[in-house]
Each structure stands twice: as structure tokens, then as C-alpha cells.
Amino acid sequence: MHRVHRGSELTEAARAYIDYPHWLYVATFPDGTSKVGTAHERSKTSRLDQQAVALADYVALADDGVLVRELEDAVTQHVRLTQFKRVTTKLTSWLAPESFETVARKHEQTVAKVAEFLDGFENRGFAPVEEAWSPGEFSAPFAEHLDDGSLWEAPDQWPSESATGRVVSGSGPFLLTGSAQNLSEGTLAPPEVRSLVNMTALKNRACRTVSGANSRREEQIRLF
């Protein structure tokens, strides 16, 4: 799919997917680094949720998936903006983020550079846009993390079934967990330090949902 603009053959279903409008976005992570990427019209918000980004802006709406990938490659070549960021470096950036002000400043500078380049791009079939990404429900705790200055940690291993933990939220390749200690009237104690778990450890593994109070089964399912 990512090589369709370079002549790759597509199935009928893939062609139908590509024929829809696609968004070009600029995303910035908590360490201040940015990437350029694309999102299908139907996955405009969720695509960025899956990337575990700190901030993002949509900078263009292309007629189809072929043109948006041409734009993506052009931005990479001329603005020197990568299309990739490894999960391990994303994890590191969330565990030790820059200040929100620093991340926001770097993001705005990168978006401005891309917008300036697109204004002079000769091949049309797209509309420049200025639209900020709004985090989805399960990305909200990640966005709040940049504001409150709290610290997260990464566990050395996956917790055992008997561990007293719960799912707090999930964004892309990460799972945010917290304390399951009960307070009075059945409420949960806020975790002093939340744990950020790398979900890629579960790749190619059979998984099942965990039942019980505060298990948030629907959220568990959505993570996969």
C-alpha cells in the first residue's frame, strides 16, 4: 500500500481504499522530533492515536491515496522530515518528555516549514489545510501527561495475573497501567507512578481479555 505511487500492483479492495481522500499530517513526539504521515479519511483521528504522538496537524487533504503518498515523499525529500519513528524511541520520549512549551514550539516550526513547501508544490489535486488533531478518548491521558509534568516508568517485565494493576488507557503501541488499590466506596486510588508498557511485546501472541471490576474490556479489545 505504501508503494502504490511507485507502481505497486493492488487488489480490487486495496484500489477502492486508495481511491478515497487521504490526509497528510505532521506529528511531533514528546522528545520534540517530528514525522510526516498519511491517514485515510475514515481513520483521520484513530491513525494518529495509533502513532502515540504528542501533537499533530493535518496540512493537506489529497484526492486519493496515490497523491498523498507523493506529497509525503516530497516533504521527506525537500523538508528532510522522516516518515518513521521506532516504537522504542517513542517509548523513551514518553518516559522522559520535553516540556510542553518546547514540544509545541518545535511542532509549530515544523508545520510551518511543511506548509510553506506545499504552497509551492506544482502537482495539485490536494487542498492545503490548517487543522489541529484532537486526541481520541484513549489518547487523552497521554496528552494530559505533557501538561502536568508527571513521570511514568517502564516495567522490566509484564505483570503477573495476580498483580494488582488495571488498564488506564492505551495509545497505539503502548498500554498505560495504574494501581488497582480500592479506596472507600469502591473508588480506585490514583496511581503515584503509572507504568507504560510496550505493546509490541505481544506481537504474534494469542491474547485474552481480563474480566473483573475496572477491567475496561472494551478498551482492551480496542487495543488490538
pLDDT in tens, 113-145: 999 999 988 767 999 999 999 987 767 777 777
Residues 162, 213, single domain; the answer is yes
Pick 63 or 157 by higher pLDDT.
Answer: 63
- Residue 56 vs residue 204, higher pLDDT: 56
Q: Is the pLDDT of residue 29 over 90?
A: yes
Task: Report the pLDDT averaged over residues 10-16.
Answer: 62
Helix (H) or strand (E) holding 194: strand 194-198
Picking from 134, 166, 190, the residue at the C-terminal end of a domain is: 134
Grid cell listed for 77: 525529500
The residue out of 100, 134, 168 marking a domain boundary is 134
Cβ count within 10 A of residue 130: 10
Distance (Å, rounded) from C-alpha 23 to C-alpha 59?
A: 8
Element (H, E) at 85: none
State the pLDDT at residue 179. Answer: 38
Residues 6+ apart with CB under 8 A from 75: 24, 36, 81, 114, 117, 118
Instruction: Tell me how far apart the terminal alpha carbons of the chain are, to the nearest angstrom.
Output: 21
Determine, yes or no, domain membership for 94: yes
Give the model's confidence band at 175: pLDDT under 50 very low, under 70 low, under 90 confident, else very high: low
Check: pTM over 0.75? Answer yes or no.
no
Tell me the CB-side half-sphere exposure of residue 52, using CA atoms within 13 A. 29
Residues 182 and 208 placed together within one structural domain of the fold: yes
Contacts of 46 (CB under 8 A, 6+ apart): 136
pLDDT at 1 (0 to 100): 46
**Max Cα-Cα span within the chain:** 64
198: cell is 510496550
Are 162 and 118 contained in the same domain? no
Q: Tell me: do 38 and 128 sit in the same domain.
A: yes
Range of the domain at 187: 151-222
Number of domains in the chain: 2
Percent of the chain with pLDDT over 70: 58
User: In which band, very low, low, confident or very high, does the pLDDT at 191 lie, cut at 50, 70 and 90?
Assistant: very low
Burial string for 87-112 (b: 16+ CB within 10 Å, else e) reads eeebbebbeebbebeebbebbeebbe
Q: How confident is the model at residue 46 (pLDDT cuts 50, 70, 90)?
A: confident
Picking from 134, 168, 203, the residue at the C-terminal end of a domain is 134
- Residue 3: pLDDT above 60? no
